Amino acid sequence: MHFPTYRPRRLRRTETIRAMVRETSLDANDLIYPMFVEFGTGVRREVSSMPGVFNISLDQLPAEIDELKSLGIPAVILFGIPETKDEAGTGAYAEDGIVQQAIRAIKAHAPEFYVITDVCMCEYTSHGHCGALDDDGCVINDVTLELLAQTAVSHAEAGADMVAPSDMMDGRVAAIRAALDAEGFSDVPIMAYSAKYASAYYGPFRDAADSTPAFGDRRGYQMDPANGEEALRETALDIDEGADIVMVKPALAYMDIIRRVKDEFGYPTCAYNVSGEYAMVKAAAANGWIDEKRVVLETLLGFKRAGADLIITYHAKDAARWLKEG
């Protein structure tokens, strides 16, 4: 295979032949839209560091779901902002908690629309960490497992189609699987945030969800950005414990991890295109420094090429609209 026998440009001459030999495709069906829900009515507040992303109240959900459906986006992942936070994060598993109510509101409006819930404690704890703390301010792993399991079950009881633990405690997939099964939810799948890194790219999300840790950071439970082999071990553990879908997060700086996880396990793999990645694109686009549409579609296609089957992205609505336009 060498020049002049092989001329790669022969298959690039027209859009027809380019489309015929195209290896990867991006479809609205691949996209999951993250939503931040809070109490109150008539709330639609733009997140300052995430232009185009809003914190919304429960009454806004039906219109929001209609819009997503019309764009061909099949699913949301819900994040809740509770009215009050406490040491134990009780709002995470309250029967009438914000996410539980949001699930019910969506299901009452559009029963077939797919609702995934983020399962974690950090939006609900007064200290902002992802679990229960000991006296030294360290997250206690095994006590947290019970809180997470209870949270996942409360989401399933409210009608969630899938739960997605993002806490990075050891053994949480097994704990959640056992609790769901015991309560009659053996058909509810788990999408595990398997390789979730302690990343600077979560900054804007923490503005939106008001979940910045009051002290310290998350490096005692989220992964070290330097580690790739460990991502495979984390993913293997989650699969052993019953994960149905595995996730790599963030996506852009971890494309190698997406590829390795896909190659190693062949599992349905989700890439989380996180808040900081979104914010950077929006900032550059607002300055006229990049062509937003082309950059976003190229980035999302890149995640697919790297091995992602699913992409959680704040760009979902725009991307679906652009894909429609062709």
Task: List residues near Zn ion by CB under 5 A.
Answer: 120, 122, 130
CB closer to ligand PBG, 62 vs 203? 203
- State the binding partner of 274 from ligand PBG, Zn ion, none, CB within 5 to 8 A by kind: ligand PBG
Residue 127 Cβ, how far from Zn ion at the closest point, in Å? 11
Q: How far is the CB of 14 from ligand PBG (least distance, A)?
A: 39
CB nearer to Zn ion: pick between 92 and 158: 92
The minimum distance between CB 164 and Zn ion, in angstroms, equals 11
- The DSSP element (H or E) to which 275 belongs, if any, is helix 275-286
- Among the listed residues 196, 262, 282, 317, the single catalytic one is 196
Is residue 53 within 8 Å of 47, Cβ to Cβ?
yes
Q: Distance between CA 189 and CA 116 in Å, rounded?
A: 10
From ligand PBG, Zn ion, none, which one binds at residue 308 (CB under 5 to 8 Å depending on kind)? none
Catalytic residue among 69, 85, 107, 249: 249
Q: Please identify the residue of the shown chain whose CB is closest to the bound ligand PBG.
A: 205
Q: How far apart are CA 238 and CA 195, in angstroms?
A: 10
Cα gap 66→64, rounded to integer Å: 5
Active site residue 196: yes
Integer Cα distance of 286 and 157 in angstroms: 42
26 vs 121, beta carbon nearer ligand PBG: 121
- Footprint of ligand PBG (CB under 6 A): 118, 120, 122, 130, 166, 202, 205-206, 218, 274-275
Shortest distance in whole angstroms from residue 221 CB to Zn ion: 9
Residue 2 CB neighbours (<10 A): 5
How many separate helices (H) and strands (E) can be counted in the chain? 11, 10
Closest Cα partner for 315 from 299, 117, 55? 299
Binding site partner of 174, from Zn ion, ligand PBG, none, Cβ cut-off 5-8 A by kind: none
Give the CA radius of gyration of the chain. 20
Match 């725009």 to its residue by tokens. 318
Residue among 62 and 220 whose Cβ is closer to ligand PBG: 220
E strand intervals along the chain: 31-38, 44-47, 50-57, 75-81, 114-119, 162-165, 191-196, 245-249, 269-273, 310-313
In the three-class reduction of DSSP (H, G, I as helix; E, B as strand; rest coil), residue 111 is classed as coil
Task: Report the partner that residue 275 touches, choosing among ligand PBG, Zn ion, none (CB closer than 5 to 8 A by kind).
Answer: ligand PBG
57 binds, among ligand PBG, Zn ion, none (CB under 5 to 8 A by kind): none
Closest distance of CB 323 from ligand PBG, Å: 21
Q: Residue 205: which of Zn ion, ligand PBG, none does it interact with, CB under 5 to 8 A by kind?
A: ligand PBG
Closest CA to 55 of 33, 80, 75: 80
Do residues 311 and 251 touch, judged by C-beta distance below 8 A? Answer: yes
Q: Which tokens in the block code for residue 94?
A: 């309250």
User: Would you say 207 or 292 has its CB closer to ligand PBG?
Assistant: 207
Nearer to Zn ion, 120 or 162 (CB): 120
Tell me the closest approach of the beta carbon of residue 138 to Zn ion, in angstroms: 15
Residues in Cβ contact with 144 at an 8 Å cutoff, skipping those fewer than 6 apart: 121, 130, 131, 132, 167, 169, 172
Active site annotation includes 85: no
Residues labelled catalytic: 196, 249
